[in-house]
Amino acid sequence: MFKPDIQKFSEKEWKTMRILFGIFWVHGIVNIITNFSSIPVPRGWALIIDLSFLDTIPGKSIFILVALLSVIFYVKNAKMIYVTGLMFLIGICVHTYQDSQATDIYNEIINLVVLGQFLAFSYCRYFKRSAGEDVVINLVIHNSKQAIIACYLIAAISKLSDAGLSWIIDAPNLSVAIYKMYMHNYVGLLSPELLSTALAYSTFIASHPLLIQVLFAIVLLAELLGIVALVNRQLSVVVGIVLIALHFGIAYFTGIHFDHFVVLLLIFLVNIGYVVNLVLIFSKKVLSSDKSS
């Protein structure tokens, strides 16, 4: 039976996750704020709230400063309810600002992770006052994983509700979508390489329909079954690696990248910081045993 448990994590693992996620989050926020200077197509909250202060130098400076301060507190694990709450609000404003540049980055996953963490800290603070630091950490990481898994589940349900299983059958149509994607870059740069890459990818997809259909079927299955990552730590790593492998496979065959999804999978599902730490400890042990022998 499917029974997700809140897994146990050490303070060291949580610290590694905080550092990696903090750097990733603030890098994205600063990048967006410095890259854009107008709101050409207001979307989402930008239709309700005036975000034009993000077009101004003082507005940009204040947001960057507050984002940097938030991340310092976040990494130090201090005042986490307020810090994650603030990070969530900054994320909502800045990512809405990015969405309003007529782009579809699907950055919602980042804000959902922050929201999940904020809810976990708030829940422990107001409903489980006796909870120790370890309980809080475990719930925060569990919520972060749930937020990531939710996005994949939603993507799978969207495919099934929009196209049903014909999504797999129609997969070779991707050739024209990929051509379009490359042409978006080509018409900006007029680089002949982009045109030849567009033709190469679309011809490859059109001439290997079965391969693309199998790849799509695996993608759909992985997105639907990703929720098993919540059962235990081993499955979490396995699901994380499978989803990352799929992202790389899709990028290789189609040129479509979702780098921020890969980063979040590496931090929270694969727990890359912990894996690297284990490898370092193991290699140190091997080296010291070699010296003693």
Partner 1 sequence: MGISSTLFFSIAKLWNLVPAKLTIVVVIISFSVGKIQPFSTFPVYSHIPPVSEYYYMTDEKDLIIPIALKFDYDGGSLHKMIEYRYVQYSKTYGDPEILNKVGLETLDYLFETFAITSETVSYKQIKIWNAKVKMMNDQIVVVHKEIAKMQVL
In the region spanning residues 32 to 61, those forming contacts with partner 1, defined by CB under 8 A, are 38, 40-41, 43-45
As a whole number of angstroms, the distance between CA 203 and CA 265 comes to 31
186 binds partner 1 (CB under 8 A): yes
* Among residues 127, 162, 192, 291, the one that binds partner 1 under rule CB under 8 A: 162
Q: How far is CA 280 from CA 20, 68, 274, 277, 292, in A?
A: 17, 30, 10, 5, 18
As a whole number of angstroms, the distance between CA 91 and CA 113 comes to 11
Give the containing element (helix H, strand E) for 225. helix 209-225
As a whole number of angstroms, the distance between CA 111 and CA 118 comes to 10
Looking at beta carbons only, is 131 or 277 nearer to partner 1? 131
* Among residues 7, 122, 185, 197, the one that binds partner 1 under rule CB under 8 A: 185
121 binds partner 1 (CB under 8 A): no
* Among residues 126, 188, 192, 252, the one that binds partner 1 under rule CB under 8 A: 188
Looking at beta carbons only, is 167 or 268 nearer to partner 1? 167
167 binds partner 1 (CB under 8 A): yes
* Among residues 153, 217, 218, 225, the one that binds partner 1 under rule CB under 8 A: 153
* Among residues 155, 242, 246, 263, the one that binds partner 1 under rule CB under 8 A: 155
165 binds partner 1 (CB under 8 A): no
Least distance from partner 1 to the Cβ atom of residue 40, Å: 6
187 binds partner 1 (CB under 8 A): yes
**DSSP summary character for residue 257:** -
Torsion of CA 155, 156, 159, 160, to 10 degrees: -150
200 binds partner 1 (CB under 8 A): no
230 binds partner 1 (CB under 8 A): yes
The phi, psi pair for 244, rounded to 5°, reads -65, -40
Judge whether 174 and 204 are in contact, CB under 8 Å. Answer: no
Judge whether 216 and 167 are in contact, CB under 8 Å. Answer: yes
Q: Chain-centre distance of CA 194, in angstroms?
A: 27
Which range binds partner 1 by CB under 8 A, 22-30, 61-69, 89-97, 130-138? 89-97
